[in-house]
Amino acid sequence: MTARRTKKATAKKATAKKVTAKKAPRMKAATAESAPAPARPPLTKEDAAAQLGIEQLRPEQEQVIAETLAGHDAVMIVPTGFGKSACYQIPSMLLPKPVVLVSPLLALLTDQHQKLVAANVPCVRLDGTVRGKARREAFERIEQGGSLLVMTTPETLLSAPLSEALQKCGVSLVAIDEAHCISEWGYDFRPAYRRLGGQIRALGQPPLLALTATAIGHVRETIVKSLRMRDPAVIAVSPHRSNLAFEVLPAEGDVRARVLVRLVKRLRRPGIVYCATRREVDMLWALLKRFRIPVHRYHGGMNATERSTEQRRYMRRGQRTVMVATNAFGLGIDKPDIRYILHYQSPASLEQYVQEAGRGGRDGKKANCILLYDPADREIHQALLNRSRIRPEQLFKLGAALEAWTDEQRSPSLEALALSAELGSRTTQALLSKIEEAGFATCEDSEIRVVDPSRSIEEDARSLAGQFERLRREDSRRLDLIGDYAVEPDCRATFLRAYFGEDADEPCGLCDVCRGKPRRPSGFFSPLAAPKPPERKKNDGRNRRGGRRGARRRSRGGRKRRGRRSGARPAAE
């Protein structure tokens, strides 16, 4: 018995070993199948475009992508909504090392990152809002290298952690979005952009792609010079789209608000109303709400949560609402069905006007671009520009502070120099970029050093004051051009094309001039009747609350009557 049991036990163990041996490979195979397979990189730009949902690339996109894949520098100047993003997204899927996108627009970075992740395109986003685990994972992915799109801001790219990570893995291409921000001659100068040229050189001088919607001659030259681009190919498309109907309506003083309300009530939505100041945004938002128009607002005085909520509500697909905003709204916003762009006040330049007007009609259908013109708007912008532009006396203070540090044979940081000059850090950075560009000082390893200590840096700084005076004259010239556009007797699209240096022979046939400047009736400018209060719903002469109480009283009484009919006697009996 004992021998038989031993044999049976031995046989069972052997059988179990065979079963385990047979099952083991199956378990391994199952594990391999359940793990997500790595994304197969596209072989051609057509495959990459299809992965992004693009059926056919435009000829200009094809040209830019070919230049970047060949390792050449390129400048792309195309209108808003033309498809600039594909020109760096597709190379990021084809090139062997990461492609870096630099943009000042957090909204654009967030939106593009979400869409690329959904399309299974390798990408990471790094900016001041990415923290903790997400930031660590982004750096880990960058260290792996390979085909990848790294989306970041100028400030983050200039930081040591990201710079070191990119130097280790290498970079195939750097794309600079909103490249006009590099030029102080442009309408949206950002000091951090002026330091990108040196930072890109530290990454091994990879090929560069500069992208913008608007850049006239000397702005293009500044972009090329500041980024130290090498004989770049320039691909430019007219900023004017044939589906945009430009119009100028003279509206001064109180008349302007009346005209705005009438236009907003009649024009097809969704639309955007741009104002020069936050105060005007708040005023118009309240006014349109009073007339029961579905309206949102957006400006820099609102906190981040409020701005995000208003933007999200406006951007919902199918929403036919109105956004009242300063120029803080719109950059990086992709809503194709905007039917009108209405400027309640004149913009500061034609570049800004064309950029903002280009946000309408991205679906190819007609969009109205209307400017309510009041010559007094020039004074508002002149005051805003005087406040934002650097003044010569600020340059003198910085030069004196830097000379004091040099006399002590010390190299200050940006913060220390700003403190000693009694200037803000952003103002100091802007001034320093001019001094650095002139070759009087350098900024390396967060330390500012004078190139030639034997020279007087204070005197050198004073010699640059004339440039700031030229900038002020350029500001005035741009404001004058807005007035010229408003009173232009010929086609408005032709005027805009000529300003951007393009052939302007054919009239557009859509603007108010081409259509014969239709006259508005006098009642269009007359005072508005106060909106009627909303009517309450009728309920057979009774309000709901009273009706419910009456019903309850009748119900109680009914129960007592039913009790008497069933034979119950009153208590008195």
Distances (CA, A) of 77 to 215, 546, 570: 7, 67, 95
Highest mean pLDDT: which range of 215-219, 333-337, 358-362, 436-440: 358-362
Interval 86-99 mean pLDDT: 94
Contact yes or no for 106/125 (Cβ under 8 A): no
Interval 361-384 mean pLDDT: 88
| Rounded CA separation 336/570 (Å) | 76
Higher local confidence (pLDDT), 104 or 58: 58
DSSP state of 538: P
Q: How confident is the model at residue 389 (pLDDT cuts 50, 70, 90)?
A: low
Residue 20 C-beta-side C-alpha neighbours within 13 Å: 6
DSSP string, 199-248: HHHHTT---EEEEES---HHHHHHHHHHHT--S-EEEE--S--TTEEEEE
Its pTM stands at: 0.68
Position 323 pLDDT exceeds 90: yes
449-506 pLDDT, tens digit per residue, is 777 776 777 777 766 766 677 777 777 888 889 999 999 899 999 999 888 877 767 8
Position 570 pLDDT exceeds 60: no
For residue 451 the two structure tokens come to 């190139």
Write out 326-377 in H/E/C secondary structure.
Answer: CCCCCCCCCCCCCCEEEECCCCCCHHHHHHHHCCCCCCCCCEEEEEEECCCH
Report the range of poorest mean pLDDT among 95-99, 144-148, 419-423, 460-464.
Answer: 460-464
Interval 152-168 mean pLDDT: 88
Position 293 pLDDT exceeds 70: yes
Q: Which residue, among 239, 243, 247, 216, has the nearest Cα to 491 in the 3D structure?
A: 247
Q: How confident is the model at residue 435 (pLDDT cuts 50, 70, 90)?
A: confident
Task: Tell me: cis bond preceding 507? Omega within 30 of 0 counts.
Answer: no
Element (H, E) at 322: strand 322-325
Position 184 pLDDT exceeds 60: no
Higher local confidence (pLDDT), 517 or 140: 140
Highest mean pLDDT: which range of 28-32, 87-91, 530-534: 87-91
| Rounded CA separation 402/452 (Å) | 12
- Domains of the chain listed by start with CATH number: 45-236 (3.40.50.300), 244-383+488-525 (3.40.50.300), 390-471 (1.10.10.10)
